[in-house]
Amino acid sequence: MDMEYSAINGIIVKEEEAKISVRDIALGRGYGIFDFFQIQDGKPIHMEAHLDRFERSSEIMRLDLKWDREQVVNTIQDLLQKNQVKSAGVKLIGTGGVSADGASIANGNLAIMLYPFKSPSTELHKTGVKLLSYEYQRLLPHVKSINYLYAVYLSEELTKAGALEPLYYTTKSVRETSRANIFAVKNGTLITPHEKILEGITRKTIIEKLDFPMELRNITLQELKEADEVFLCGTTKVALGVTHIDGDKIGDGTVGAITQEIRKKLISLA
């Protein structure tokens, strides 16, 4: 169902009235941040961790959002009531604001929107997904920014190849996909890149709460392709098996047993 109400700077308005200026540098310069989490049957899923990351992103980007965590949480609860839902995706967007010269940071805007709750995919987790690799390093990788320029630019190539997302890598290591962190499984050990990435909440849960041998280190694209299993992780993906990268088969080309086990454990922790 569509959500009728959103919030701008703490004020709840109808969706069509939720506006920011066309002169905001989020539009003119692509300068802004966001975060996303879900609420299921009134229970927020890792909300505090997502709000922590949103606050860190805001500080790194030097945004003046004048936000108060308690007020944000209350606004989210009010939005749930106004939209008459108990389950929803919650998206926070912070913008750079309208500056005098159109390029420098000004008083920012904070938007909060609700989306229909998205259950973990059941079909893709059975079939697995394909990725296409691209040599690319995101700017300010520790920030969850609104800059998805390269991923959107590549969307046509991805669609033609039947690939879900681009996999970013450098000569030193794979990094992440456009919307997820990545893990390799080799001889029962989980391996995940540890630098110059956005450190996802699901990734953190896997590292801190699941009892698997773990290595946080650089992993080359070739090493990743030679892994027994590869999977993506994220808020709505949970743990999603990767069966092919650039047409190269991962393992036996099916979703691996460890990936499936991790997915079940993550869902039980939500």
Active-site residues, by number, are 144
SS3 per-residue string spanning 243-265? EEECCEECCCCCCCHHHHHHHHH
Q: Is the CB of residue 4 less than 8 Å from the CB of residue 13? A: no
CA 112 to chain centre: 16
Nearest of 107, 165, 154 to residue 131 by alpha carbon: 165
* Distance from C-alpha of 236 to C-alpha of 200, rounded to nearest angstrom: 12
Write out the two tokens for 154: 């590549």
Nearest of 74, 148, 158 to residue 112 by alpha carbon: 74
How is 124-152 classified by DSSP, letter by letter? HHHH-EEEEEEE---SSTTS-BS--HHHH
Write out the two tokens for 181: 């962190």
